[in-house]
Structure 1
Amino acid sequence: MLINIQFIKTKGSEFLTQNVSKNLNKLSDKYDWLIKAEVYFKEENDPTGRSKICEIELSAPGPRIFASSTEESFELAIKKTIFELDQQLKKRKAVFVAH
C-alpha cells in the first residue's frame, strides 16, 4: 500500500511518520485490497487543548474510506483514527463476503 503523509500547519516528525506507517501497514496486512492512504496531520488553535488532528483517507475498491479525530496529542489521534478505519473496513469486508 502506498502511504502519503502531509503535515499542515505543524512541524514534520519522523516518529509520527513511523507510527502511522506501522499502523497502516498492519491494516494493509489484514485487508490486502487496500490501495493507498492519504494521511494529514493538522494543528489548530483550540482553547480546550484538543488541537491535534489526524485525518486518514483510504483508497480501496468502492467508495473511499475516511476517518478523522481531534485529540490532545497526535499519538492519541492516530490511535483513534486507525480504530475508526478498522471498524469501517470490517463493515466493507462483510459486504465483500456477502456478494
Structure 2
Amino acid sequence: MKVNVQNPNFIVDEKLVGFINKRLSKLEVFYDRIIYADVFLKIQKTSNKENKIIEILLSIPGDDLIAKKEAKTFEEGVDECINALEKQLKRRKQKERTFS
C-alpha cells in the first residue's frame, strides 16, 4: 500500500511518518486490497487543546473509506482514525462475504 502524508504549513517529524506507516500497514490484515492511503495532518488555530485534525482516506477497489478525528496529539488522532477504518473494513468484508 502506498501512503501519502500531506501536511500543509508545517514539517512532519520522521518518527510520526514511521508511526503512521506502521499503523496503516496493520489495516492490511483486515483487508488486503487497499490501493493507497492519503493522510492529511492539520493544526487548527484555536485555544482548544484538541487542535490536531487527522483525516485518512483509504482507496479500495470500488470505493473510498474516510475517517476524520480531532485529538491533542497526531499519534492519538491516527490511532482513533485507524480504529474507525478498521471497523469500516470489517463491515465491508462482511458485506462481501454475504453477497458472495
Structure 2 unaligned residues grouped into runs of 5+: none
Q: How many residues are matched?
A: 99
Cα drift, residue 48 of structure 1: 1.6
Please report the TM-score for the alignment, with normalisation by the length of structure 2: 0.93
Distance 1:69 1:10 in 2: 19
User: Counterpart of 1:87 in 2: which secondary structure?
Assistant: helix
Residue of structure 1 equivalent to 2:15? 15
Please report the TM-score for the alignment, with normalisation by the length of structure 1: 0.93
Identity %: 33
User: Counterpart of 2:63 in 1: which secondary structure?
Assistant: coil
1:41-72 alpha-carbon deviations (Å, 9 max, x no partner): 11011222111111100000222000011101
Cα drift, residue 29 of structure 1: 3.3
Structure 1 unaligned residues grouped into runs of 5+: none
Residue of structure 2 equivalent to 1:72? 72
User: Counterpart of 1:8 in 2: which secondary structure?
Assistant: coil
User: Counterpart of 1:9 in 2: which secondary structure?
Assistant: coil
